[in-house]
A = this chain, B = another copy of it.
Amino acid sequence: MVRAAVCGTEGRQFESVPVYQKMNKEKKLSANPPSGFVDRYGNELALKENLIAKIEKNFLKFGFSKLETPSFEISENIGKFLPDEDRPSSGVFGFQEENDSWISLRYDLTAPLARYVSQNYLNISNPFKRFQIGNVWRNEKPGPGRFREFTQADCDIIGSNNLLADAEMCNLLADTLNFCGLEKNQYQIKLSNRKLIQGLIENLKISESKQQLTVLRAIDKLDRVGTDGVKQLLTIGREDKSGDKTVGANLSDYQAEEIVSFINMKSLDEIKSAIPNKLVEDGVDELNKVLDGINYSSNFDQIIFSPEVIRGLEYYDGPIFEANLTFKVKNQKNQEVEFGSVGGGGRYNSLVSRFKKVDLSATGVSIGLDRLLYALVQLNKIEVKNYSPIIICVLDKKYLSNYYELLSQLRNQNIRSEIYLGDSGLKSQLKYADKRSAPAVILCGEDEFKNNKITIKKLNSNLNETSKNLSREEWKKSENTQITCDKENLIDEIKKLI
Protein backbone atom coordinates (compact mmCIF):
# COMPACT_ATOMS: atom_id res chain seq x y z
CA MET A 1 0.00 0.00 0.00
CA VAL A 2 1.52 3.25 -1.13
CA ARG A 3 0.84 6.39 0.83
CA ALA A 4 0.11 9.02 -1.78
CA ALA A 5 -2.15 11.94 -2.30
CA VAL A 6 -4.35 11.19 -5.27
CA CYS A 7 -6.46 14.24 -5.59
CA GLY A 8 -4.47 15.42 -2.66
CA THR A 9 -5.45 18.77 -1.36
CA GLU A 10 -9.12 18.03 -1.81
CA GLY A 11 -8.71 15.57 0.95
CA ARG A 12 -7.72 18.29 3.32
CA GLN A 13 -11.27 19.33 3.71
CA PHE A 14 -11.86 16.07 5.51
CA GLU A 15 -8.93 16.40 7.80
CA SER A 16 -8.77 18.44 10.88
CA VAL A 17 -8.38 22.10 10.12
CA PRO A 18 -8.36 24.36 13.16
CA VAL A 19 -9.96 27.13 11.16
CA TYR A 20 -12.23 28.72 13.68
CA GLN A 21 -9.92 29.05 16.61
CA LYS A 22 -8.15 32.15 17.85
CA MET A 23 -11.29 34.24 17.55
CA ASN A 24 -12.00 36.77 20.23
CA LYS A 25 -15.42 35.61 21.36
CA GLU A 26 -16.51 39.05 22.54
CA LYS A 27 -15.88 41.04 19.38
CA LYS A 28 -18.49 40.22 16.71
CA LEU A 29 -17.35 40.19 13.08
CA SER A 30 -18.89 42.24 10.29
CA ALA A 31 -21.12 39.96 8.24
CA ASN A 32 -20.59 41.70 4.88
CA PRO A 33 -18.77 40.33 1.86
CA PRO A 34 -15.79 42.51 0.91
CA SER A 35 -16.75 45.64 -1.01
CA GLY A 36 -17.19 44.95 -4.72
CA PHE A 37 -18.26 41.33 -4.15
CA VAL A 38 -21.80 39.95 -3.87
CA ASP A 39 -23.76 36.91 -2.77
CA ARG A 40 -26.33 35.41 -5.14
CA TYR A 41 -29.34 33.39 -4.01
CA GLY A 42 -32.84 32.46 -5.15
CA ASN A 43 -34.24 33.99 -8.32
CA GLU A 44 -31.22 36.17 -8.97
CA LEU A 45 -28.93 33.15 -9.05
CA ALA A 46 -31.44 31.05 -11.04
CA LEU A 47 -31.69 33.78 -13.67
CA LYS A 48 -27.96 33.96 -14.06
CA GLU A 49 -27.55 30.21 -14.32
CA ASN A 50 -30.39 30.01 -16.80
CA LEU A 51 -28.62 32.58 -19.00
CA ILE A 52 -25.28 30.79 -18.71
CA ALA A 53 -26.93 27.52 -19.78
CA LYS A 54 -28.46 29.18 -22.84
CA ILE A 55 -25.23 30.83 -23.90
CA GLU A 56 -23.32 27.59 -23.43
CA LYS A 57 -25.84 25.66 -25.50
CA ASN A 58 -25.52 28.15 -28.33
CA PHE A 59 -21.71 28.16 -28.22
CA LEU A 60 -21.81 24.37 -28.51
CA LYS A 61 -24.25 24.60 -31.41
CA PHE A 62 -21.69 26.72 -33.24
CA GLY A 63 -19.10 23.98 -32.82
CA PHE A 64 -17.01 25.43 -29.98
CA SER A 65 -15.50 23.21 -27.28
CA LYS A 66 -15.34 24.15 -23.64
CA LEU A 67 -12.10 24.98 -21.86
CA GLU A 68 -11.61 25.69 -18.16
CA THR A 69 -8.41 27.41 -17.15
CA PRO A 70 -7.54 27.98 -13.49
CA SER A 71 -8.27 31.20 -11.62
CA PHE A 72 -4.59 31.99 -11.36
CA GLU A 73 -1.98 32.69 -14.01
CA ILE A 74 1.69 33.54 -13.69
CA SER A 75 1.52 37.34 -13.48
CA GLU A 76 3.77 37.90 -16.48
CA ASN A 77 1.32 35.88 -18.57
CA ILE A 78 -1.59 38.09 -17.59
CA GLY A 79 0.27 40.76 -19.49
CA LYS A 80 -0.47 43.57 -17.10
CA PHE A 81 2.96 43.26 -15.60
CA LEU A 82 4.44 46.54 -14.54
CA PRO A 83 8.17 46.08 -13.93
CA ASP A 84 8.64 49.47 -12.27
CA GLU A 85 6.35 48.55 -9.43
CA ASP A 86 7.24 46.49 -6.42
CA ARG A 87 3.92 44.64 -6.55
CA PRO A 88 2.49 43.93 -9.99
CA SER A 89 -1.02 44.37 -8.69
CA SER A 90 -2.36 47.54 -10.17
CA GLY A 91 -5.72 46.44 -11.55
CA VAL A 92 -5.12 42.76 -10.90
CA PHE A 93 -5.14 40.66 -7.74
CA GLY A 94 -1.51 39.54 -7.48
CA PHE A 95 0.13 37.25 -4.89
CA GLN A 96 3.79 36.87 -4.20
CA GLU A 97 4.85 33.24 -4.06
CA GLU A 98 7.40 31.81 -1.65
CA ASN A 99 10.03 31.91 -4.39
CA ASP A 100 9.25 35.63 -4.87
CA SER A 101 7.55 35.12 -8.23
CA TRP A 102 4.06 36.55 -8.67
CA ILE A 103 0.79 34.91 -9.64
CA SER A 104 -2.44 36.79 -10.42
CA LEU A 105 -6.13 36.08 -10.65
CA ARG A 106 -7.12 36.18 -14.33
CA TYR A 107 -8.14 39.60 -15.58
CA ASP A 108 -9.87 38.26 -18.68
CA LEU A 109 -10.24 34.91 -20.46
CA THR A 110 -8.07 35.74 -23.48
CA ALA A 111 -4.63 35.78 -21.86
CA PRO A 112 -5.22 32.30 -20.34
CA LEU A 113 -6.39 31.07 -23.77
CA ALA A 114 -3.21 32.30 -25.43
CA ARG A 115 -1.16 30.57 -22.75
CA TYR A 116 -3.17 27.33 -23.15
CA VAL A 117 -2.83 27.30 -26.93
CA SER A 118 0.93 27.80 -26.68
CA GLN A 119 1.31 24.98 -24.18
CA ASN A 120 -0.88 22.52 -26.07
CA TYR A 121 -0.02 23.60 -29.57
CA LEU A 122 0.76 20.11 -30.89
CA ASN A 123 -2.29 18.39 -29.43
CA ILE A 124 -5.14 20.71 -30.24
CA SER A 125 -7.00 21.06 -33.50
CA ASN A 126 -6.05 23.73 -36.00
CA PRO A 127 -7.97 26.00 -36.05
CA PHE A 128 -8.78 25.72 -32.36
CA LYS A 129 -12.35 26.70 -31.45
CA ARG A 130 -12.87 27.09 -27.74
CA PHE A 131 -15.33 28.77 -25.42
CA GLN A 132 -14.97 29.57 -21.75
CA ILE A 133 -17.55 30.97 -19.36
CA GLY A 134 -16.04 32.02 -16.08
CA ASN A 135 -15.32 34.68 -13.55
CA VAL A 136 -12.62 37.29 -13.93
CA TRP A 137 -11.28 39.59 -11.25
CA ARG A 138 -10.40 43.29 -11.35
CA ASN A 139 -8.72 44.94 -8.41
CA GLU A 140 -10.38 48.26 -9.08
CA LYS A 141 -12.33 50.69 -6.99
CA PRO A 142 -15.79 49.19 -6.49
CA GLY A 143 -18.92 51.32 -6.69
CA PRO A 144 -22.68 50.89 -6.99
CA GLY A 145 -23.09 48.03 -9.46
CA ARG A 146 -19.36 47.93 -10.14
CA PHE A 147 -18.07 44.54 -9.08
CA ARG A 148 -14.56 43.23 -8.66
CA GLU A 149 -15.60 39.70 -9.66
CA PHE A 150 -17.87 39.12 -12.63
CA THR A 151 -18.62 36.60 -15.38
CA GLN A 152 -17.43 36.64 -18.97
CA ALA A 153 -18.52 34.33 -21.80
CA ASP A 154 -15.86 34.11 -24.51
CA CYS A 155 -15.60 32.30 -27.86
CA ASP A 156 -12.42 32.37 -29.94
CA ILE A 157 -11.06 30.77 -33.10
CA ILE A 158 -7.27 30.52 -32.99
CA GLY A 159 -5.12 29.76 -36.02
CA SER A 160 -7.24 30.91 -38.93
CA ASN A 161 -6.71 33.88 -41.24
CA ASN A 162 -9.98 33.08 -42.95
CA LEU A 163 -12.28 36.08 -42.70
CA LEU A 164 -15.30 33.80 -42.63
CA ALA A 165 -14.19 33.13 -39.05
CA ASP A 166 -14.84 36.80 -38.25
CA ALA A 167 -18.22 36.54 -39.94
CA GLU A 168 -18.94 33.47 -37.82
CA MET A 169 -18.17 35.50 -34.71
CA CYS A 170 -20.66 38.20 -35.70
CA ASN A 171 -23.26 35.54 -36.48
CA LEU A 172 -22.57 33.82 -33.18
CA LEU A 173 -23.01 37.07 -31.27
CA ALA A 174 -26.30 37.84 -33.04
CA ASP A 175 -27.59 34.29 -32.70
CA THR A 176 -26.71 34.11 -29.01
CA LEU A 177 -28.53 37.36 -28.29
CA ASN A 178 -31.59 36.00 -30.15
CA PHE A 179 -31.34 32.70 -28.33
CA CYS A 180 -31.21 34.51 -24.97
CA GLY A 181 -34.47 36.28 -25.75
CA LEU A 182 -33.67 39.52 -27.58
CA GLU A 183 -35.77 40.32 -30.66
CA LYS A 184 -33.88 41.22 -33.81
CA ASN A 185 -34.86 44.88 -33.46
CA GLN A 186 -33.62 45.07 -29.88
CA TYR A 187 -29.92 45.04 -30.71
CA GLN A 188 -27.49 46.03 -33.40
CA ILE A 189 -24.00 44.79 -34.13
CA LYS A 190 -21.64 47.49 -35.29
CA LEU A 191 -18.82 46.27 -37.52
CA SER A 192 -15.61 47.99 -38.54
CA ASN A 193 -11.91 47.30 -39.10
CA ARG A 194 -9.06 48.83 -37.14
CA LYS A 195 -7.09 49.14 -40.35
CA LEU A 196 -9.41 51.95 -41.49
CA ILE A 197 -8.60 54.35 -38.66
CA GLN A 198 -4.94 53.24 -38.71
CA GLY A 199 -4.76 54.13 -42.40
CA LEU A 200 -6.32 57.52 -41.77
CA ILE A 201 -3.93 58.17 -38.86
CA GLU A 202 -1.05 57.27 -41.18
CA ASN A 203 -2.29 59.68 -43.86
CA LEU A 204 -2.73 62.45 -41.25
CA LYS A 205 0.86 61.83 -40.08
CA ILE A 206 -0.10 61.29 -36.44
CA SER A 207 2.99 59.25 -35.65
CA GLU A 208 3.46 59.44 -31.89
CA SER A 209 1.93 56.33 -30.31
CA LYS A 210 0.59 58.10 -27.22
CA GLN A 211 -1.15 60.64 -29.44
CA GLN A 212 -2.58 57.79 -31.55
CA LEU A 213 -4.06 56.22 -28.41
CA THR A 214 -5.60 59.53 -27.38
CA VAL A 215 -7.21 59.76 -30.83
CA LEU A 216 -8.65 56.23 -30.54
CA ARG A 217 -9.88 56.96 -27.04
CA ALA A 218 -11.59 60.15 -28.25
CA ILE A 219 -13.45 58.30 -31.06
CA ASP A 220 -14.43 55.58 -28.58
CA LYS A 221 -16.31 58.24 -26.59
CA LEU A 222 -18.61 59.28 -29.46
CA ASP A 223 -21.69 57.71 -27.85
CA ARG A 224 -21.13 59.61 -24.63
CA VAL A 225 -19.89 63.01 -25.76
CA GLY A 226 -21.28 63.42 -29.31
CA THR A 227 -19.47 64.74 -32.40
CA ASP A 228 -18.57 68.09 -30.83
CA GLY A 229 -17.19 66.36 -27.77
CA VAL A 230 -15.03 64.09 -29.93
CA LYS A 231 -13.74 67.16 -31.78
CA GLN A 232 -12.76 68.78 -28.47
CA LEU A 233 -11.05 65.57 -27.32
CA LEU A 234 -9.14 65.42 -30.60
CA THR A 235 -7.91 69.01 -30.19
CA ILE A 236 -7.83 71.16 -27.05
CA GLY A 237 -9.46 68.72 -24.63
CA ARG A 238 -12.86 68.73 -22.96
CA GLU A 239 -14.41 69.75 -19.66
CA ASP A 240 -17.52 67.84 -18.58
CA LYS A 241 -20.47 69.19 -16.56
CA SER A 242 -18.82 68.30 -13.27
CA GLY A 243 -15.77 70.35 -14.23
CA ASP A 244 -13.56 67.30 -14.84
CA LYS A 245 -11.09 68.06 -17.58
CA THR A 246 -9.88 65.46 -20.15
CA VAL A 247 -6.66 66.33 -21.96
CA GLY A 248 -7.02 66.45 -25.77
CA ALA A 249 -4.95 64.85 -28.52
CA ASN A 250 -3.70 68.24 -29.70
CA LEU A 251 -4.53 67.65 -33.36
CA SER A 252 -4.87 70.47 -35.81
CA ASP A 253 -8.37 71.52 -36.84
CA TYR A 254 -7.78 69.93 -40.24
CA GLN A 255 -6.77 66.61 -38.72
CA ALA A 256 -9.75 66.65 -36.35
CA GLU A 257 -12.16 67.49 -39.17
CA GLU A 258 -10.86 64.60 -41.25
CA ILE A 259 -11.40 62.17 -38.39
CA VAL A 260 -14.88 63.46 -37.58
CA SER A 261 -15.76 63.21 -41.24
CA PHE A 262 -14.45 59.61 -41.26
CA ILE A 263 -16.53 58.44 -38.32
CA ASN A 264 -19.65 59.77 -40.01
CA MET A 265 -19.12 57.88 -43.27
CA LYS A 266 -21.74 55.28 -44.03
CA SER A 267 -20.24 52.97 -46.64
CA LEU A 268 -17.05 51.08 -47.35
CA ASP A 269 -16.86 52.50 -50.89
CA GLU A 270 -17.04 56.06 -49.55
CA ILE A 271 -14.16 55.38 -47.15
CA LYS A 272 -12.07 53.64 -49.79
CA SER A 273 -12.27 56.59 -52.16
CA ALA A 274 -11.96 59.28 -49.46
CA ILE A 275 -8.84 57.83 -47.81
CA PRO A 276 -6.29 56.64 -50.37
CA ASN A 277 -4.15 54.30 -48.26
CA LYS A 278 -3.01 50.66 -48.50
CA LEU A 279 -4.19 49.79 -44.97
CA VAL A 280 -7.60 51.27 -45.67
CA GLU A 281 -7.81 49.31 -48.91
CA ASP A 282 -6.94 46.06 -47.11
CA GLY A 283 -9.39 46.88 -44.35
CA VAL A 284 -12.22 47.45 -46.80
CA ASP A 285 -11.43 44.22 -48.68
CA GLU A 286 -11.42 42.29 -45.41
CA LEU A 287 -14.75 43.77 -44.35
CA ASN A 288 -16.30 42.89 -47.69
CA LYS A 289 -15.29 39.26 -47.10
CA VAL A 290 -16.72 39.35 -43.57
CA LEU A 291 -19.95 40.80 -44.93
CA ASP A 292 -20.10 37.95 -47.48
CA GLY A 293 -20.01 35.45 -44.63
CA ILE A 294 -22.68 37.34 -42.74
CA ASN A 295 -24.75 37.58 -45.91
CA TYR A 296 -25.05 33.80 -45.99
CA SER A 297 -26.74 33.89 -42.59
CA SER A 298 -30.02 35.33 -41.42
CA ASN A 299 -28.40 38.04 -39.34
CA PHE A 300 -27.51 40.44 -42.11
CA ASP A 301 -29.95 43.18 -41.08
CA GLN A 302 -28.65 43.37 -37.52
CA ILE A 303 -25.04 43.90 -38.52
CA ILE A 304 -24.14 47.37 -39.76
CA PHE A 305 -20.90 48.98 -40.81
CA SER A 306 -19.96 51.69 -38.26
CA PRO A 307 -16.51 53.28 -38.65
CA GLU A 308 -16.61 54.80 -35.16
CA VAL A 309 -16.26 51.42 -33.44
CA ILE A 310 -12.84 51.16 -31.75
CA ARG A 311 -12.85 48.65 -28.83
CA GLY A 312 -9.64 47.36 -27.14
CA LEU A 313 -7.10 50.04 -27.96
CA GLU A 314 -3.91 48.08 -28.41
CA TYR A 315 -5.37 44.69 -28.85
CA TYR A 316 -7.24 44.36 -32.10
CA ASP A 317 -5.70 44.79 -35.52
CA GLY A 318 -8.38 43.67 -37.99
CA PRO A 319 -12.18 43.43 -38.10
CA ILE A 320 -13.90 44.53 -34.88
CA PHE A 321 -17.54 44.37 -33.83
CA GLU A 322 -19.70 45.34 -30.92
CA ALA A 323 -23.30 44.57 -29.89
CA ASN A 324 -25.43 47.41 -28.58
CA LEU A 325 -29.01 47.41 -27.38
CA THR A 326 -31.52 49.56 -29.20
CA PHE A 327 -33.81 50.03 -26.19
CA LYS A 328 -33.35 52.14 -23.09
CA VAL A 329 -32.19 50.49 -19.91
CA LYS A 330 -33.02 51.97 -16.53
CA ASN A 331 -31.15 51.83 -13.26
CA GLN A 332 -32.74 50.99 -9.91
CA LYS A 333 -33.84 54.61 -9.52
CA ASN A 334 -35.77 54.29 -12.79
CA GLN A 335 -33.36 56.62 -14.56
CA GLU A 336 -32.26 55.84 -18.10
CA VAL A 337 -28.62 54.88 -18.15
CA GLU A 338 -26.03 54.82 -20.88
CA PHE A 339 -25.74 51.09 -21.07
CA GLY A 340 -22.76 50.44 -23.31
CA SER A 341 -22.31 47.24 -25.27
CA VAL A 342 -23.37 43.75 -24.17
CA GLY A 343 -20.61 42.06 -26.13
CA GLY A 344 -18.13 42.35 -28.92
CA GLY A 345 -14.76 41.30 -30.18
CA GLY A 346 -12.47 41.23 -33.16
CA ARG A 347 -9.30 39.92 -34.70
CA TYR A 348 -5.97 39.95 -32.87
CA ASN A 349 -2.66 38.45 -33.87
CA SER A 350 0.09 38.89 -31.37
CA LEU A 351 -1.17 37.05 -28.28
CA VAL A 352 0.18 33.57 -28.86
CA SER A 353 3.49 34.84 -30.23
CA ARG A 354 4.27 36.16 -26.77
CA PHE A 355 4.80 32.54 -25.71
CA LYS A 356 5.84 30.73 -28.87
CA LYS A 357 7.64 31.51 -32.07
CA VAL A 358 4.47 31.08 -34.07
CA ASP A 359 2.24 33.83 -35.27
CA LEU A 360 -1.32 32.60 -34.89
CA SER A 361 -4.11 34.82 -36.03
CA ALA A 362 -7.20 34.75 -33.87
CA THR A 363 -10.67 36.20 -33.74
CA GLY A 364 -12.95 36.18 -30.76
CA VAL A 365 -16.08 37.46 -29.08
CA SER A 366 -16.81 38.21 -25.44
CA ILE A 367 -20.28 38.57 -23.95
CA GLY A 368 -20.77 40.61 -20.79
CA LEU A 369 -22.97 38.17 -19.01
CA ASP A 370 -24.04 40.22 -15.99
CA ARG A 371 -24.77 43.20 -18.20
CA LEU A 372 -26.84 41.14 -20.64
CA LEU A 373 -28.69 39.61 -17.70
CA TYR A 374 -29.50 43.06 -16.34
CA ALA A 375 -31.04 44.07 -19.67
CA LEU A 376 -33.00 40.83 -20.10
CA VAL A 377 -34.45 41.15 -16.61
CA GLN A 378 -35.76 44.60 -17.55
CA LEU A 379 -37.43 43.09 -20.60
CA ASN A 380 -38.83 40.33 -18.39
CA LYS A 381 -37.21 37.91 -20.81
CA ILE A 382 -35.92 35.21 -18.51
CA GLU A 383 -38.23 32.83 -16.74
CA VAL A 384 -37.11 31.09 -13.59
CA LYS A 385 -38.09 27.61 -12.61
CA ASN A 386 -39.19 27.09 -9.02
CA TYR A 387 -36.75 24.59 -7.56
CA SER A 388 -38.33 24.64 -4.11
CA PRO A 389 -39.33 21.31 -2.59
CA ILE A 390 -42.68 19.85 -1.54
CA ILE A 391 -42.63 20.01 2.25
CA ILE A 392 -44.04 17.23 4.40
CA CYS A 393 -45.14 18.81 7.68
CA VAL A 394 -44.62 16.96 10.94
CA LEU A 395 -48.04 17.11 12.62
CA ASP A 396 -47.25 14.39 15.10
CA LYS A 397 -43.88 12.78 15.71
CA LYS A 398 -45.43 9.39 16.21
CA TYR A 399 -46.13 9.29 12.47
CA LEU A 400 -42.51 9.93 11.51
CA SER A 401 -42.16 6.57 9.78
CA ASN A 402 -45.28 7.38 7.73
CA TYR A 403 -43.87 10.74 6.75
CA TYR A 404 -40.64 9.09 5.69
CA GLU A 405 -42.59 6.60 3.60
CA LEU A 406 -44.25 9.47 1.72
CA LEU A 407 -40.87 11.14 1.32
CA SER A 408 -39.39 8.00 -0.23
CA GLN A 409 -42.26 7.79 -2.69
CA LEU A 410 -41.72 11.37 -3.80
CA ARG A 411 -37.96 11.18 -4.04
CA ASN A 412 -38.08 7.88 -5.90
CA GLN A 413 -39.96 9.81 -8.58
CA ASN A 414 -37.23 12.49 -8.48
CA ILE A 415 -39.68 14.97 -7.00
CA ARG A 416 -37.89 17.62 -4.91
CA SER A 417 -39.20 17.08 -1.39
CA GLU A 418 -38.34 17.10 2.29
CA ILE A 419 -39.69 16.45 5.75
CA TYR A 420 -39.65 19.60 7.89
CA LEU A 421 -36.43 19.26 9.91
CA GLY A 422 -36.74 22.14 12.36
CA ASP A 423 -37.89 21.99 15.95
CA SER A 424 -41.15 23.99 15.78
CA GLY A 425 -44.90 23.45 15.53
CA LEU A 426 -47.26 23.61 12.56
CA LYS A 427 -47.57 27.38 12.33
CA SER A 428 -43.83 27.76 12.04
CA GLN A 429 -43.72 24.92 9.56
CA LEU A 430 -46.22 26.67 7.30
CA LYS A 431 -44.33 29.92 7.64
CA TYR A 432 -41.20 28.03 6.71
CA ALA A 433 -42.95 26.60 3.61
CA ASP A 434 -43.94 30.12 2.59
CA LYS A 435 -40.41 31.43 2.96
CA ARG A 436 -39.14 28.55 0.86
CA SER A 437 -41.78 29.29 -1.84
CA ALA A 438 -42.74 25.63 -1.65
CA PRO A 439 -45.31 24.68 -4.31
CA ALA A 440 -47.25 22.62 -1.72
CA VAL A 441 -47.17 21.13 1.75
CA ILE A 442 -48.39 17.69 2.75
CA LEU A 443 -50.47 17.77 5.94
CA CYS A 444 -51.17 14.33 7.35
CA GLY A 445 -52.24 13.34 10.84
CA GLU A 446 -54.30 10.68 12.50
CA ASP A 447 -57.34 11.17 10.22
CA GLU A 448 -55.32 10.73 7.10
CA PHE A 449 -53.20 7.78 8.14
CA LYS A 450 -56.17 5.91 9.61
CA ASN A 451 -58.06 6.25 6.33
CA ASN A 452 -55.13 5.83 3.94
CA LYS A 453 -55.54 9.41 2.74
CA ILE A 454 -53.20 12.30 2.04
CA THR A 455 -53.95 16.01 2.47
CA ILE A 456 -52.11 18.31 0.09
CA LYS A 457 -52.24 22.07 0.47
CA LYS A 458 -51.22 24.04 -2.57
CA LEU A 459 -49.31 27.19 -1.70
CA ASN A 460 -49.36 30.32 -3.72
CA SER A 461 -45.78 31.40 -3.58
CA ASN A 462 -46.85 34.97 -4.38
CA LEU A 463 -48.82 35.09 -1.16
CA ASN A 464 -46.01 34.91 1.26
CA GLU A 465 -48.19 35.31 4.30
CA THR A 466 -50.68 32.51 3.80
CA SER A 467 -49.81 30.84 7.01
CA LYS A 468 -49.92 33.86 9.27
CA ASN A 469 -52.13 33.25 12.28
CA LEU A 470 -53.95 30.33 10.74
CA SER A 471 -54.76 27.33 12.84
CA ARG A 472 -54.77 23.94 11.18
CA GLU A 473 -58.56 24.00 11.11
CA GLU A 474 -58.62 27.35 9.35
CA TRP A 475 -56.08 26.02 6.88
CA LYS A 476 -58.22 23.06 6.08
CA LYS A 477 -61.22 25.31 5.50
CA SER A 478 -59.69 27.06 2.50
CA GLU A 479 -60.94 24.18 0.41
CA ASN A 480 -60.12 25.54 -2.99
CA THR A 481 -56.38 25.10 -2.50
CA GLN A 482 -56.47 21.96 -0.41
CA ILE A 483 -57.32 18.43 -1.39
CA THR A 484 -57.50 15.12 0.37
CA CYS A 485 -56.84 12.17 -1.88
CA ASP A 486 -56.16 8.45 -1.63
CA LYS A 487 -52.64 7.63 -0.57
CA GLU A 488 -51.90 5.81 -3.83
CA ASN A 489 -52.69 8.97 -5.79
CA LEU A 490 -50.00 11.01 -4.04
CA ILE A 491 -47.59 11.13 -6.97
CA ASP A 492 -50.28 11.98 -9.53
CA GLU A 493 -51.69 14.80 -7.42
CA ILE A 494 -48.26 16.26 -6.68
CA LYS A 495 -47.25 16.09 -10.34
CA LYS A 496 -50.25 18.28 -11.15
CA LEU A 497 -48.84 20.96 -8.88
CA ILE A 498 -45.24 21.12 -10.04
| Binding-face segment, A196-204, A255-263, A368-376, A488-496 | A368-376
Asked whether any CB of chain B lies closer than 8 Å to the CB of A233, the reply is no
A366 touching B28 by the CB < 8 A rule? Answer: no
CA distance A81 to B417 in the complex (A): 39
CA distance A331 to B335 in the complex (A): 59
Point out the residue from B41, B80, B116, B127 that lies within 8 Å of A421, measured CB to CB.
B127
Asked whether any CB of chain B lies closer than 8 Å to the CB of A477, the reply is no
Which residues of chain A from 97 to 156 have any CB-CB distance to chain B below 8 Å in the complex?
A: 97, 103, 107-108, 111, 115-116, 118-120, 124-127, 129-130, 135-140, 142-152
Asked whether any CB of chain B lies closer than 8 Å to the CB of A480, the reply is no
| Binding-face segment, A264-272, A337-345, A442-450, A453-461 | A337-345
CB A155 to nearest CB in B, in angstroms, measures 12
CB A94 to nearest CB in B, in angstroms, measures 8
Asked whether any CB of chain B lies closer than 8 Å to the CB of A277, the reply is no
Contacts of A135 in B (CB 8 A): 71
Q: Mark A333-362, 1 if CB is under 8 A from B, else 0.
A: 001111111011000001100111100000
Closest B residue to A387 using CB positions: B60
B4 touching A368 by the CB < 8 A rule? Answer: no
CA distance A339 to B152 in the complex (A): 36
Asked whether any CB of chain B lies closer than 8 Å to the CB of A327, the reply is no
Contacts of A382 in B (CB 8 A): none
Point out the residue from B1, B15, B129, B401 that lies within 8 Å of A220, measured CB to CB.
B15
Asked whether any CB of chain B lies closer than 8 Å to the CB of A479, the reply is no
Which residues of chain A from 426 to 449 have any CB-CB distance to chain B below 8 Å in the complex?
A: 428, 432, 435-436
B138 touching A107 by the CB < 8 A rule? Answer: no
Closest B residue to A400 using CB positions: B296
Which residues of chain A from 27 to 75 have any CB-CB distance to chain B below 8 Å in the complex?
A: 28-34, 36-42, 45-46, 49, 57, 60-63, 65-74
Number of residues of chain A lying within 8 A (CB) of chain B: 173
Tell whether A29 pairs with B355 under 8 Å between CB atoms, given A79-B23, A161-B423, A371-B6. Answer: yes
A416 touching B331 by the CB < 8 A rule? Answer: no
Tell whether A16 pairs with B217 under 8 Å between CB atoms, given A3-B338, A6-B145, A11-B368. Answer: yes
Asked whether any CB of chain B lies closer than 8 Å to the CB of A254, the reply is no
Tell whether A22 pairs with B404 under 8 Å between CB atoms, given A67-B45, A220-B16, A315-B17. Answer: no
Asked whether any CB of chain B lies closer than 8 Å to the CB of A243, the reply is no
Asked whether any CB of chain B lies closer than 8 Å to the CB of A313, the reply is yes
CB A170 to nearest CB in B, in angstroms, measures 13
Contacts of A97 in B (CB 8 A): 34
CB A138 to nearest CB in B, in angstroms, measures 6
CA distance A400 to B391 in the complex (A): 58
Contacts of A68 in B (CB 8 A): 39-41, 45
Asked whether any CB of chain B lies closer than 8 Å to the CB of A12, the reply is yes
B28 touching A356 by the CB < 8 A rule? Answer: yes
Point out the residue from B125, B146, B149, B161 that lies within 8 Å of A436, measured CB to CB.
B125
CB A294 to nearest CB in B, in angstroms, measures 10
Q: Mark A140-182, 1 if CB is under 8 A from B, else 0.
A: 1011111111111000010111101100100000010000000
CA distance A220 to B11 in the complex (A): 14
Asked whether any CB of chain B lies closer than 8 Å to the CB of A463, the reply is no
B38 touching A70 by the CB < 8 A rule? Answer: yes
CB A140 to nearest CB in B, in angstroms, measures 6
Asked whether any CB of chain B lies closer than 8 Å to the CB of A475, the reply is no
CA distance A155 to B432 in the complex (A): 18
Which residues of chain A from 204 to 263 have any CB-CB distance to chain B below 8 Å in the complex?
A: 213, 216-217, 220, 224
CB A229 to nearest CB in B, in angstroms, measures 12
Asked whether any CB of chain B lies closer than 8 Å to the CB of A478, the reply is no
CB A425 to nearest CB in B, in angstroms, measures 13
Contacts of A414 in B (CB 8 A): 57, 61
Asked whether any CB of chain B lies closer than 8 Å to the CB of A188, the reply is no
B116 touching A73 by the CB < 8 A rule? Answer: no
For the complex with contacts A33-B115, A62-B418, 7 further pairs of A-B residues with Cβ separation under 8 Å are: A16-B315, A18-B313, A31-B115, A41-B120, A65-B436, A175-B411, A293-B404
> Could you list 25 examples of A-B contacts with CB < 8 Å?
A1-B336, A2-B335, A7-B145, A7-B374, A8-B144, A9-B36, A11-B341, A13-B136, A13-B366, A14-B322, A17-B313, A25-B354, A29-B354, A30-B76, A30-B77, A34-B74, A37-B71, A39-B67, A60-B389, A60-B416, A62-B389, A63-B416, A63-B418, A127-B421, A162-B423
